[in-house]
Amino acid sequence: MFLTKKKTIIRKIQEAILALEIERLYSKDEILEMYLNQIYYGEGAYGVEADAETYFGKHASELTLPEAALIVGIPKHPLKYNPKRHPDYAFIRRNVVLDVMANAGYISKEDAERLKQEPLGIVIKEKGYNNAPYYMEEIRKFLISRYGEDILYKGGLNVYSSCNLTIQKKAEEIFEDHLRRMEIERHFEYNIVNGFIDGKPEYLQGALIVEDAKDGSVLAMIGGRNFKQSSFNRATQAKRQVGSSFKPFVYLAAIDNGYNPSDIILDAPIVVKLKGVKDEDKSIYKPSNFDNKFMGPITLRSALAHSRNLATIRLLQRIGPYTVIDYAKRCGINEKLHPYLSLAIGSASITLEEMVSAYQTLADQGEHITPHMIDSIVDAKGNIVYVPNIEKKQEISKQSDFIIVNMMESVINEGTGRYARMLGLKKPVAGKTGTTDNFTDAWFVGFNPDIVCGVWVGFDSLRTMGKNATGAVMALPIWAKLMKSLIQGDSLTPPIFKDGEDFNKPSGIVERRICEQSGLLATPYCPKIRNEYFIEGNEPKKKCNIHGPDGVNSDNIWKEPYDVNKNKENNDEIFH
């Protein structure tokens, strides 16, 4: 335990010298104690104390005589005599030790025979099931891929994860409580109690990730409702359509390319002839809004806040799908995205892990950080053998990022995410709902300056959750309650994150009062006025030309200038 494992003559001489030196400095009992406290006992346990905890769930000082005899017998062959893996061999080995003790006079032969009849008494602890099972499984897979099973289970590695158990347990509590409520309220045929059918969970599933927005550490992860029944991690492995939770990347691309939150876009019907599709029934793309209604000319801010599909598709037509794809990838989405119109409303299938990573870029002023689950790994000798390579890169300008985050605040303050305010979340937060066709997927991803949290809810089998099972109904309450607990607290529990009261406004941002109908500078005659943020130099210079002392000038009411048929090249890129 003090020398390398190389078998050389020099090593043998060193061993002899070291043995003499140890015997001179320590008694035989002390030498034995050092030996027993450092050798390997299987199951990743080094030393008697760790071994007692691993096999019996108690301190070494609390072991009974037969338990101590079992531990003493393991070091000769830790794999063969591992009582969890080979209890029969371990039983025989323990009894050999008891016989040796009796022959040496430490116990009577009668006591030895009596103790040999006792069961091993091993405490079976299912690893990872008690605390953050999906999180721990991700770490285990990473360690095996990097070091192999032998080092993982026998190498004495100490792994320090980024998991915050306080956050993890709170998340699990809120998560499960809400899904059980949904099962009851929506009268699902299968639930967490009766829904494990033919080895598969048929009940409602979900996933959740909490990530530190500043350093990328994953603070909590839920990959499903019951790890024992399904170890499939829906947070990292399930690629599900993201719905409207993708829309912020469309609006971000627009803002960073000269658009303003006050710019007007048309929320009205769209009918597109798809190029290259021979089947007449499938050659027409006719998207709709969730409520099947049209708001007409609206600001970009309102279009995002109220999740207007048709307005967002028109915006994608203007800036081009490849521009949107570029911004999504810069933010952290690595999944292959296709340049179709439906990309604007979240037709892409992406993991929750990637969505949270992309939103982290928005939360941290446009700086993307590679997420990580392990803070460090230390070997049995105390050497740090691994620290994550945390890459930081400014992917989006701080000014454009501030604008899009401020628009996403409107989602919660006045749009599809306003239920979060009704649940008592008062702190500044930003986020976006997501709902897919036929209500098969429900999303909410959001953040404050400190933490990002993403929630997905749905069935594994891609079946509907029922009428109006939107992201605001199925996913947002989990997010809002957890965020409230973490950044706001209550009368009994203080918040974990006490900083980050508001999103930082960078230099280069100006504020103007605008007319919400024209998108131009407001006049005393404008009926709907709001303060709006702009990147300095891109703010509107003209005053509203719709409202005046004589009433509304209908000739100046905004009209949609974009004609799909005028941009044939763009059509080819989007539709073929």
pLDDT, residue 565, reads 35
Distance CA 45, CA 512 (A): 65
Is 415:304 a contact under the CB 8 Å cutoff? yes
Cβ neighbors of 403 (< 8 A, separation 6 or more) are 255, 261, 509, 533, 534, 535
CATH of domain 37-115: 1.10.3810.10
Residues of the chain with pLDDT under 70: 1-15, 18-19, 22, 38, 43-46, 124-130, 491-492, 498-500, 554-576
Is 22:32 a contact under the CB 8 Å cutoff? no
User: 352-366: buried (b, 16+ CB within 10 Å) or exposed (e) per residue?
Assistant: bbbbbbbbbbbbbbb
The closest alpha carbon to 183, from 206, 203, 161, 162, belongs to 203
- Cα torsion 245, 410, 290, 233 to 10°: value is 20
First to last CA, the chain: 67
DSSP assignment of 459-500: -TT-----TT--HHHHTHHHHHHHHHHHHT--SSS--S----
Which DSSP symbol is given to 439? G
Express each pLDDT in 128-177 by its tens digit: 446 899 999 999 899 989 988 777 777 788 999 999 999 999 999 999 99
Q: What is the pTM of this model?
A: 0.78
Is 492:510 a contact under the CB 8 Å cutoff? no
Domain boundaries, the chain: 37-115, 168-174+200-487
The first and second tokens of residue 472, run together, are: 């605001």
CATH of domain 168-174+200-487: 3.40.710.10
The closest alpha carbon to 429, from 442, 443, 411, 416, belongs to 411
Identity (one letter) of the amino acid at 62? E
Other C-beta atoms closer than 10 Å to the C-beta of 210 total: 27
The first and second tokens of residue 549, run together, are: 């002392």
| Placement of tokens 């939360």 in the chain | 363
Distance CA 210, CA 490 (A): 20
DSSP assignment of 322-352: HHHHHHHHHHT--S-----GGGGGT-SEE-H
- What length is written for the chain? 576
The closest alpha carbon to 361, from 334, 398, 388, belongs to 398
Supply φ then ψ for residue 359, to 5 degrees: -70, -25
Distance CA 561, CA 174 (A): 47
The closest alpha carbon to 108, from 65, 144, 45, belongs to 65
Distance CA 423, CA 96 (A): 64
Tell me whether residue 185 is exposed, middle or buried, using C-beta atoms within 10 angstroms of its C-beta: 0 to 12, 13 to 18, 19 or more. Answer: exposed
